[in-house]
Structures are given as structure tokens and as C-alpha cells.
Structure 1
Amino acid sequence: MYSGLILILLPLIIGYFLPITWKSILNVVNNLLSWMVYIILFFMGISLAFLENLSENLLNIARISLISALCIIIFNVIGLELLAHRYPWRHTHRQQVLPSRLQMALESLKLGLVVLGGFAAGLSHWAPLRHASEASEYALLLLLFFVGIQLRGNGMTLRQILLNRRGVTIASVVWLTSLAGGLLASLLLQVPLNTGLALGSGFGWYSLSGILMTESFGPVIGSAAFFNDLLRELLAITLIPALITRHRTSALGLCGATSMDFTLPVLQRSGGNEIVPAAIVHGFLLSLLAPVMMALFST
């Protein structure tokens, strides 16, 4: 029953506990990780093209991703606003001029285009492409190994995490409310509860959630998970500057796992350097939780 969870955790743990501190090696790992994401998402697109009743499944993907994203984000915002009311975040920072949000959104959409590219290639139904699912399983193990190295490379210690109470608290609220949103989505979509919970466990890490969910639930749910979490990141990029002054907690929480990397520059420019420690701890914790929770609900 727990073989899938062990399979996910083992390469992640091995990578995390490797004492790699050389910046040159970490840079190579980061580059390899980026390429692995592109490769696996390309395989995901190929698998999608081999589905039967393709047009019906594409509509199903859109329906699942939109409903799940809406449920999860609504629960997140309610929980984060209740937290902000009870635990106000005082600050004095004034916003700086931000880089083009359109350009940042286009960076996110690149991965969506990779999936579409794999889908287009899969439509040829070339015989070797039928092994895309098996190839992606091995690539996934390697990707999780690199993710473990990357997380350790950020230099976060248990002491630093536990001392930043705000980052831990916001991550906890996002975690719990995302699961609540996933439960509601499972009821509305009439899918098993564990599927809804797994959809709620991506925390905006669309590249990983799409891959893991495809391996566990097939290309329909996997693609829906990808677009569900992609919508979350695009929404965060768009709303951070508007929310950061009066709704600072929600601005951070909506970023999910990406507050440690992709959306961190936007948070820093909008909210100042004082938001950075909480953002890193918040993203770090959700990045650790995402593969574990998705694997747990896939067993």
C-alpha cells in the first residue's frame, strides 16, 4: 500500500541528505532540474494524446482544473484572511516598481507549451511514443533526487524553519485549507476523496503535481492538476502587488510552494526584504509537503 510513498520519498530523502555545498554543483543540479521538468511534461503531453475519447477528455480536464482551482483558492483566501485578522502583519514597506507581470506570466506558460508540444507529437501515434509513460517514471525518480539536493542547497535548517513562526503558520493554514478545498472539489466533481485531496496537495507546484498525478491517476487527472496549480501561480503573480499592502498574509499564502523561488522576487519588490524569510520558510515547507502528501493520497 505504501510502496508508492516510499518510491517518492526515497530519492527525495537521498538527495536531501547528500552534503553538497559547492555552488558549481548546485548550479548544475538546478539546470538539470529545469530540463528534467521539461522532459517529463513533454512525456505527459504524449500520454495525453494516446487517450481514448480525446475531445471528451479535454473538456473533462478543463472542468476538473477550473473547479478544483476555484475551491482550493476560495478556502485558502478564507483561511488566510481569518489568520490575518487574528494575527495582523505590521509593516512599513512601500512598494517598488515591479517588472512586467506579463513577462513573468509568459515564463510560467512556457511549461504549458511544452505539454502542448508533447501532445502534438503524440497525435502522430508513432509506436515508440507509447513508452512515454514508462520513461517518465524513471525520469520522475531522477527529478525527485534533484529536488532533494535543491532543497538542501537552499541552506534551510530546522532551527531557522521553527523560529520563523509566521512562515510556518501561513504554510500550515495553506496546507489545511488546500486539503479542505480538495475535499469540496472531490464532492463537486464526484471523484474519490483521495483524488480531491491529492489535487489540493500541489500547493501551486504545477510542474511536480502534473508529473506525480499523471503517474498515480493517469493523464486526465495529471493534466488537470498541472493546470490547477498553474492557475494558482498566475493568479498570485497578478494579485501580489494589489494585495500586499492590506492583505499581506493572503499575498504570501496564495503563492504556495513557489514563494521560495518563482514568486519570491515579486514578493520582495512588493513587500520588502522583511517578507523574504517568511516567504522562504513558507515555500520550503510546502515544497517538502507537496510530494509527500500527493504520494500519500495516491496509495
Structure 2
Amino acid sequence: MDTLWYLGKLALALVMGMLCARVLGLRRFNRTAALLQTTLVWLLLFFMGVNTGGIEGITTQFGTIGLSALVLTLLGVAGTILFSLVFSYCVSPPAQTEGIAIAKRKEQSWMRRLFDIVKEPLILVGIVVLGLTLRLTTALFSWFESSLVTYLLYTLLFFVGMGMVHKQISFKGVFSDKSLLLLPFYTIAGTYLGALLAPLLTPFTIKESWGMLSGFGWYSLSGILISDLGFPILGSISFLANLLRESFSFFLIPLFGRLGKRYYYPAVCTAGATSMDVTLVLLSSHFGTRTMLGSIYHGVIMSLAAPILIPLFF
């Protein structure tokens, strides 16, 4: 019952943001909402670090957290790639996928590409580390209460809802193409399939592993949400695992693009929730602009699924 009530409050915050954007108008407060959304993510990540720093004996668990996140990421991504390849082939044989056209790619220097890949993740990790360090080394946050994170999270989802309306996304074309319609199913089922092996390689149960991987690349939300549910260590692992998933997708999407159009499905599914924003340009440049609608649809559905699925496992 508590989980349903928690989900209801998250959904209400999202819906209220969408209604607010429609009432105010699609062009009003567009940039303000986007700026506030970014600011809230930074604040939430900072306080996630503060919250984690308050755990007794946390310094002895850093190695375990990093290794567990890497193992979970590899399992989730491997399961996603395998599942999406097999089932997309069954649903949409090669002759029916000619609409996916691989675009010409502009090669950049490897230094520039590496910088573009690591810049944002490093900033966000740095924010978490800053909060963690300040909690461990100073008394500045002796006043901190975890309930603060809950209210910030509701506010963030409010502005996420506004952002969805501002983007004016229509999915009419997707519903007539079952190969694109099933993309979120491939991602969820593949991720959970890979996580079935987690108890063999990590100290976590299948249920915990599914929960930590249910951000599907939306690392800022997954880490914050799980920490807010009362599992700060699992929240830190989830944050890193989903951050690694996004980072891996930057390398895997170009590789899949060179392998051929059939590999659009594992490419977009590996990207997870980021296929509608961070990795959208990369997907369209390697698989053609005609795939943009499918990528955005997939990212939106995964972003809606994450806050619904995560609480179900904790």
C-alpha cells in the first residue's frame, strides 16, 4: 500500500507539471522549466552524496559499490542486446526494415569525441562526490533530513512533466509500426533477463538487481529514488550502474551503426531512457533521421516506466 501511495504521489507531480504547461501555454516558461529541471537534478545528486556519506562504515564499501555497478551494467546491457536482436528479428524480418537508413557520419578527432562523452558524466559524478566528501569531512550537514530529497524529487518530476508537454511529441506514426512500438518491451525484458545472473556474481538478489537497473540509463532519478526509499547504498550502485549504461551506449551506438541497420534495435535499447535526448543525435547520425521518432518514443516510455518500476522492487 505504501508503494502504491508513493507511486501515486510521483505520478501526481508529473501530471500536475503537464497540466501546468498546457494551462500556461507551450511557449511560456519553456527555458525556465528546463533550467530548473537541471538545477534540481544537481541539487538532488548533491544531497544523495550527503545522504550516502551519513551511512556508518560507508568508506569501506566504495570498492564493492563500484564493482557491483559495473557487473550489473554489463549484465543488463548484454541481456538487452541479445533480447532486442532476437525478438526484433522475429517481429520484423530484414526485408521489412528498409526504412532505417544509415546516415553518413562526420568523423571527429578522438580527443573531441572523448571529451564530449565524459564531460557531463564527470560533472554529475563530481557533484555526488562533493556532497559525499563534505558530509564525511565536515559538520555542515548535521541538520540534513532525508525528507528534503523527497520534496525535491516531487518538484523535479513536476518540471519533467512540463518538459514533456513543451516538446510536443506525437507518436501516431509509431503505433502503426509494431517493430518500433515494442522497443520499450525489448529494453525492459532484456535488462531483466541479464540481471537474472546477478546473484551469481554479486551479493544482491534478483529483485534488488532489477530495481537498481530499472533506471534504464536515467541515473539521476534511479539513484535518488532508491535512496529516498531507504536504501542509500543501493541508490549509489544504481546511480553508477545507470551512468555506466549511458556511457557504454556512446561507444556501442557507433559500433552498431557500422554493423548495419538491423542493429538499430540493440542500439536504441542500450541507450534506454537517454534515446530521447542525450544519445538522440548519435542514434540519428548513425541510423538516419527517419529513426528519430522511434528513438524519442522509446526514451519517453522508458522515462515514464522508471519511476513506476523502481519502487515496485523495494
Shared fold (TM-score greater than 0.5)?
yes
1:122-201 equivalent positions in 2, closer than 5 A: 122-126=135-139, 128-157=141-170, 159-186=172-199, 188-201=201-214
Say if 1:201 and 1:294, in contact at 8 Å, map to a contact too.
Answer: yes
Alignment partner, residue 108 of structure 1: 121
Letter in 2 for 1:251: A
Structure 2 CA distance for aligned equivalents of residues 50 and 156 of structure 1: 41
Structure 1 CA distance for aligned equivalents of residues 14 and 242 of structure 2: 21
User: How many Å apart are 1:54 and its aligned residue?
Assistant: 2.1
**Do the aligned partners of residues 130 and 58 (structure 1) sit closer, same or farther apart at CA in structure 2, a change above 3 Å counting?**
farther
Q: Deviations over 1:94-153 (max 9, x none)?
A: 332155431222222211111111112112341534415222111111011111111222
Q: Would you say 1:94 and 2:107 are equivalent positions?
A: no
User: How many Å apart are 1:165 and its aligned residue?
Assistant: 3.1
Partner of residue 233 from structure 2, selected from 220, 233, 250:
220
TM-score when normalising by structure 1:
0.92
SS at match of 1:113: helix
Structure 2 CA distance for aligned equivalents of residues 182 and 12 of structure 1: 29
Structure 2 CA distance for aligned equivalents of residues 66 and 120 of structure 1: 22
User: How many Å apart are 1:253 and its aligned residue?
Assistant: 1.3
**Do the aligned partners of residues 186 and 208 (structure 1) sit closer, same or farther apart at CA in structure 2, a change above 3 Å counting?**
farther
Say if 2:246 and 2:271, in contact at 8 Å, map to a contact too.
Answer: yes
Alignment partner, residue 15 of structure 2: 13
Q: Which moved more, 1:235-244 or 1:5-14?
A: 5-14
Partner of residue 284 from structure 1, selected from 278, 296, 300:
300
Residues matched between the structures, number: 298
Say if 2:184 and 2:269, in contact at 8 Å, map to a contact too.
Answer: yes
User: How many Å apart are 1:187 and its aligned residue?
Assistant: 5.6
1:228-239 equivalent positions in 2, closer than 5 A: 228-239=241-252
Q: Which moved more, 1:28-37 or 1:179-188?
A: 179-188
**Do the aligned partners of residues 282 and 53 (structure 1) sit closer, same or farther apart at CA in structure 2, a change above 3 Å counting?**
same
**Do the aligned partners of residues 176 and 284 (structure 1) sit closer, same or farther apart at CA in structure 2, a change above 3 Å counting?**
same
Letter in 1 for 2:32: V
User: How many Å apart are 1:205 and its aligned residue?
Assistant: 0.6
User: How many Å apart are 1:160 and its aligned residue?
Assistant: 5.0
User: How many Å apart are 1:280 and its aligned residue?
Assistant: 0.6
Letter in 2 for 1:102: L
Structure 2 gaps, min length 5: none
Q: Which moved more, 1:216-225 or 1:284-293?
A: 216-225
Say if 2:76 and 2:193, in contact at 8 Å, map to a contact too.
Answer: yes
User: How many Å apart are 1:159 and its aligned residue?
Assistant: 3.7
Structure 1 gaps, min length 5: none
Say if 2:101 and 2:290, in contact at 8 Å, map to a contact too.
Answer: no
Alignment partner, residue 64 of structure 1: 68
Letter in 2 for 1:95: K
Say if 1:42 and 1:118, in contact at 8 Å, map to a contact too.
Answer: yes
Letter in 2 for 1:274: R
TM-score when normalising by structure 2:
0.87
Alignment partner, residue 29 of structure 1: 33
Structure 2 CA distance for aligned equivalents of residues 284 and 133 of structure 1: 28
Letter in 2 for 1:32: L
Structure 2 CA distance for aligned equivalents of residues 228 and 189 of structure 1: 13
Structure 1 CA distance for aligned equivalents of residues 187 and 130 of structure 2: 32
**Do the aligned partners of residues 177 and 272 (structure 1) sit closer, same or farther apart at CA in structure 2, a change above 3 Å counting?**
same
Q: Which moved more, 1:106-115 or 1:126-135?
A: 126-135
Structure 2 CA distance for aligned equivalents of residues 37 and 150 of structure 1: 14
Q: Would you say 1:81 and 2:60 are equivalent positions?
A: no
Say if 1:168 and 1:285, in contact at 8 Å, map to a contact too.
Answer: no
Letter in 2 for 1:46: V
Structure 2 CA distance for aligned equivalents of residues 51 and 128 of structure 1: 13
SS at match of 2:36: helix
1:253-292 equivalent positions in 2, closer than 5 A: 253-292=269-308
Structure 2 CA distance for aligned equivalents of residues 64 and 25 of structure 1: 41
**Do the aligned partners of residues 130 and 184 (structure 1) sit closer, same or farther apart at CA in structure 2, a change above 3 Å counting?**
farther
Structure 1 CA distance for aligned equivalents of residues 212 and 157 of structure 2: 19
Structure 2 CA distance for aligned equivalents of residues 5 and 12 of structure 1: 11
